[in-house]
Structure formats: structure tokens, C-alpha cells
Amino acid sequence: MTFISWTLGLLASGTVAIAVPDGFPRTGNGLWYKEPGAIWATQYLPIGNGYLGAMVNGNPTSDCLQLNIESLWSGGPFANSSYNGGNHQDSESGYLATQLAKIRNAIFTTTNGREIKGDVKPLQSSNDGYGSYSGIGYMNINHTASGEVTEYARWLDMDRALLNTVWKEPSSSFKRTYFCSNPTQACTVHTVSSAPGGYSATYSFSSLDGLPKRNITCLDDATLQLRGYVGPPGMLYELLAKIQKSGPGGGTAKCTIDSITGDAQLVVNGTTEAWVTWVGGTEYSMDAGDAAHGYSFKGPDPHLGLVSLLKKASLQRASAALEAHVTDYHNALGGFSLDIGQEFDGTKTTAELMDEYQTDTGNPYIEWLLFNFARYMLVESTRSYLPANLQGKWARDAKARWDSDYHANINLQMNYWIAEMTNLKVTSSLWDYMEKAWAPRGVVPAKVLYNITRGWLVHDELNIFGHSGMKNYSAKSTNYREAPAWMMMHVYDHLDYTNDIAWWKRQGWPLLKGVTQFWLDYLIEDKHFNDSTLVANPCNSPELEPTTFGMVDSRQ
């Protein structure tokens, strides 16, 4: 499923109209449904803060939050210490130089300047150890209703980056709010009952199919701890979740051991208000992704850092954390707004409006929502260590589609097209990623594959472990060394829009310089037309054949 179809699916889930719920943004800037989500890809709703992500179904009695940590990947040096970024060995450089010359000559000497077979196989290397972005598992909130659940609604408030569900039971009315705060690097799910002492529930973690068995224990009397590996062998990860309560009616909130599963869980009983705050991390570190660290990408055990984060986040009441989160979200949006003549119809759910949508006539309100949803998801999946990947930061499986990696032959670029022009403050992790995960190991293929000692390059498909070699797939998918050059347009755009000279000197110019140096040495004289122009050979337009020379992307 593509990112676009997923987005449209979220807009279209559900069917029957109700009155707009209390608290829905007056601007109409939200997605609104009358039923819980049932299908992860098209009906769950996303929240995130860059560091963490969650997809939420909003079921009052069996709420399911599918969880992500942005740096949780299989593969790389955590699975195999000899992982080398998908590159050839230095000892192969002589052989590769001969093969590159043969490929170039074959293309130049064909009658039409095209190598129909697209045979760049000698330049490609093993995909072993590439890995995949991985989900962690689920937080399950189980609540026994006092009777029939009525007047249910859920909505994603894109003015405030809050997800809400409301429902009624014979004994009480309930409201549940979910958000992930970038300042605290934590996420919160907060539930309040209209009846004093009217809320009871259990909060538990469940495993993701495909991951090894994890350990779920009580860190203390109010904190749930999950530790596991994405291997074996593989990266260590950890989640911590703390339960707190408030309001009249008393009640209890504590961590206990489930007598059936043997796993720990959080149990709240007879409270008016309860909230769980969770943090998560891995042992991944981009700062250890250079030659000085053996390209290990390995940082410290995340535990102590997570304990500190959770302590700070838990010192705030949920209302104070929410207020700080909303302020931060507004700052990230950059004060930009769009008016295309949209009119909010408060009598129809988002699903109904999508059912009525006709492509030949359109609906400015739906189109406005889609635009705002894109900005919301980019904010919620950035401003952390790593940029937004193929699925933002939301991926359910241990082996994600296309590894949920970074395809830099248009996908990564598309993620960020709206950033500068709509004043989103979301690009810092993009520059850090290129500086720390691309450039250090990008010098290897430059030298070994192309005998170039200045600058660096990467190819199309990229993980978080400095993969810079050309993967062993078809040429149209992998023969794309233009990827970092295209990304330099984003680098220059950032300078153009912000005039941040200090950033340009520190980070922007070194990135642009390294890529430019490689290309100055990679271009060769055209031996097909013999007109003294300098061209790239071999090259492919993204996802297209044939393999040729001087194609449009290379010239641009």
C-alpha cells in the first residue's frame, strides 16, 4: 500500500453520520468518525512526536495502540558486526574499475547509446544485513463497560495534534485523549470518567509477531517495563510506561503481574481520572556511525536515559503536558495556513464526505483536510533523531513493506516537499541523517566503485546503518547515484527560505561540497556523440529502463 492510498483510506473509514462531537475543532480541521478503527492501514489514526509513533483504534472496551520507536531496525551491525554498508571490499577496486569501463564502453558504442540489458551487475553487492524498520508491538487497554456503549465518536484534532474518543455507558460518560509530546519525548493516553471513581481498566503490552520473546516486568509499583531484541542477534529496545491517577473517588493504580500470562500489567481500579505516559528507545546511535567507531552505530543501553525521560514527563500533570505539547506543535507548524474556500459541514463525518467525493467536481474541504493531514503527519514523524521514512514513523510489522526505509529516488524528497514552502520546522533530523549516516560511509563506494577520492555518494535505497552500496536488484531500482545530488536541492532550499548562514557554514555547505566533489570527478567525456560534453555513464531514470548515459536526472 502506498502512502497516498493509506492517507485516503484513513479519510474514508466509517460510514454513518452523527452530530459533530463536542470539542471537535471549530475550524473543521480534523478527521471524525463514529466507529472505532478495525483495519490498521486505513482506519487506525496516527499520533507521534518523531521519537515515537502510535496507531490507535480508539475502541472503548479493547483499545489497541500499535507502537513504534523511530530507531528500531533489524539488520545492520547489530545483526552482523562485519556489516559494511552493502559495499565491495577495497581489494575489488581494480576488478570493478575494469568492469565499469566495460559497462561505459558498451553503452557508448551501441547505435542508440543504450545498454538494453541494463547490466550493472558487477557494480552491485549483497543485500545481506540491510534490515528493516520494525514495529514493537501493542499497548492494549481493556475496560469492562457497565452496559451498552452509546454516543461513540473519535476524532483527530489537527489544530492541536490530539486524538480523542468519547462514549457513554449507563454508569458514566468517558473521554480519552492521546498525544505524543516532542518536548518530553513521551506519549500519553488520558482517560476521565464523569462519575467519581467510575473508571477501571488494565494496560498491557503484547508482542509483535516475528520478534523474539521479550521481557515484561514491573520496574516499580507504577511502571511497566518491556525489554527485548529485534534479533536474534539484533538491536536492544525498551519501553517504559507509568500509570497515574487523580480526581475524586480514590481508587488504585499500580503495576501487577498477570497470573495467567506471567507478564506485568498496569491496573487502574475505581478512579475518576487516569493516564499512562510511555517512553521508548534503543541502543542505536548515529554518532557512532563513522570510521572512528567502526561504523557500529551502537550507543549506550537506553534504560537510564528512559528512566530520566519518564521521571521528567511524569512530574507534569496530564493537562500541563498537553498544553506544552499544543504550544510546541503550533510552533512547528510555522504560522502557515491555507484557505481554498473550504466550508466545514458539521453534520457529516469525514467518511460520509469521502463517500460523496467526486473527482470531476471535487470538494475544497476534503482537499484542504488532505493538505493539513500531510503537514500533521510530517510534524508528528520528525523533529527527532531520524527523518520521516517511507511510512513516516508508523509501521506495524517486523518486516515492513519496502523495509520502510529511505528511498531517495523521489520518496524521501516527496516527504519534505511541503516543509520549507509551508514554513514547517521539521528538517533538522534530515540534515543530521545525511551528515552522520550517509556521508561517512559514502566515501567507500566513491573510492571502490568509481575510483574517486573526493566527496561521497549513496545510491537509491538507504537504511539507518550507512548503507551506501548499490543493492542487488534491477538497475532501474538501484543504479541511482543521483540520490544525494537531488537531496542537495533540499539543502539549498533550506538556506534560501531561512537565510540561516550559521547552519549553512556548519552543515549545509559541507554536505553540498562533498556531493559536488564526487560529481565533478564522476562525469566523463561523451564518447557516443564525441561533442566534448561531460555526461554520467551508466545511469537510469528512477524506476525506468534502459540503462544509458546523460539521462535527464543526471543533467539536472
Q: What is the CATH architecture of 44-74+132-332?
A: Distorted Sandwich (2.70)
- Give me the mean pLDDT over the 367-377 stretch: 98
pLDDT tens digits for 305-341?
Answer: 999 999 999 998 889 999 999 999 999 999 999 999 9
Choice among 11-20, 70-79, 216-225, 254-263 with the minimum mean pLDDT: 11-20
Give the pLDDT confidence score for residue 16 in this predicted structure.
Answer: 42
Residue type, 185: Q
Q: Which of these, 285, 278, 315, 290, lies nearest to 302 by C-alpha position?
A: 285
- Give the separation between CA 290 and CA 307, rounded to whole angstroms: 28
pLDDT above 80 for 3: no
Taking CA 376 as the corner, what is the angle to CA 437 and CA 398, rounded to the nearest 5 degrees? 50
Cell reading at 469: 552500496
Model pLDDT for residues 228-239, shown as the tens digit of each residue: 999 899 999 999
Cα–Cα distance measured from residue 503 to residue 513, given in angstroms and rounded to the nearest whole number: 14
Does residue 115 carry a pLDDT above 70? no
Residue pLDDT, tens place only, 22-69: 999 999 999 999 999 999 999 999 999 999 999 999 999 999 999 999
Confidence (pLDDT) at 550: 92
* Closest listed residue to residue 202, CA positions, set 274, 310, 306: 274
Question: pLDDT tier at 8 (50, 70, 90 boundaries)?
Answer: very low
Can you name the residues that pair with 352 across neighbouring β-strands? Answer: none
How many Å apart are CA 350 and CA 473, to the nearest integer? 41
pLDDT of residue 18: 57
Which of 12, 66, 333, 45 lies closest to 164 in space, CA to CA?
Answer: 45
| pLDDT range class, residue 4, cuts 50, 70, 90 | very low
| Three-state secondary structure call for residue 436 | helix
Residue 263 main-chain phi, psi, to 5 deg: -90, 155
Query: Which whole-number Å values give the CA distances from 504 to 24, 127, 269, 456, 500, in the listed order?
Result: 41, 34, 55, 19, 6
Q: What mean pLDDT do residues 267-294 have?
A: 98
Is pLDDT larger for residue 207 or for residue 78? Answer: 78
Grid cell digits, residue 127: 543485500
For residue 456, with 0-12 CB atoms within 10 Å meaning exposed, 13-18 middle and 19 or more buried, which class applies? buried
How far is Cα 453 from Cα 506, in angstroms, rounded to an integer? 22
How far apart are the C-alpha atoms of 473 and 120, rounded to whole Å?
10
Flag whether pLDDT at 1 surpasses 60: no
Domain(s) of CATH 2.70.98.50: residues in the chain:
44-74+132-332
Which of 445, 469, 446 lies closest to 521 in space, CA to CA? 446
Grouping H, G, I as helix, E, B as strand and the rest as coil, residue 395 is coil
Contact 310, 242 (CB under 8 A): yes
What's the mean per-residue pLDDT of the chain? 95
Whole-number percent of the chain with pLDDT over 90 = 91
Q: What whole-number distance in Å separates Cα of residue 181 and Cα of residue 9?
A: 26
- Mean pLDDT, range 465-470, rounded to an integer: 98
pLDDT of 169 reads 98
Angle between helices 364-380 and 411-421 (to 10 degrees): 100
How confident is the model at residue 114, as a pLDDT? Answer: 66
Quote the pTM value. Answer: 0.95
* Grid cell locating 402: 519496502
- Higher-pLDDT residue of 249, 444: 444
Q: What is the pLDDT of residue 15?
A: 42
Measured CA angle at 193 (ends 191, 195), to 5 deg: 165
Average pLDDT over residues 200-228: 95
Beta partners for residue 266, in sequence order: 203, 255
> Which residue, among 442, 483, 484, 502, has the nearest Cα to 466 in the 3D structure?
442
* pLDDT confidence tier of residue 113, bands split at 50, 70 and 90: low
For residue 488 the three cell numbers come to 542537495
**Which of 208, 210, 156, 132 is closest to 28 using CA atoms?**
156
Q: What average pLDDT does the segment 139-159 reach?
A: 98
DSSP 504: I
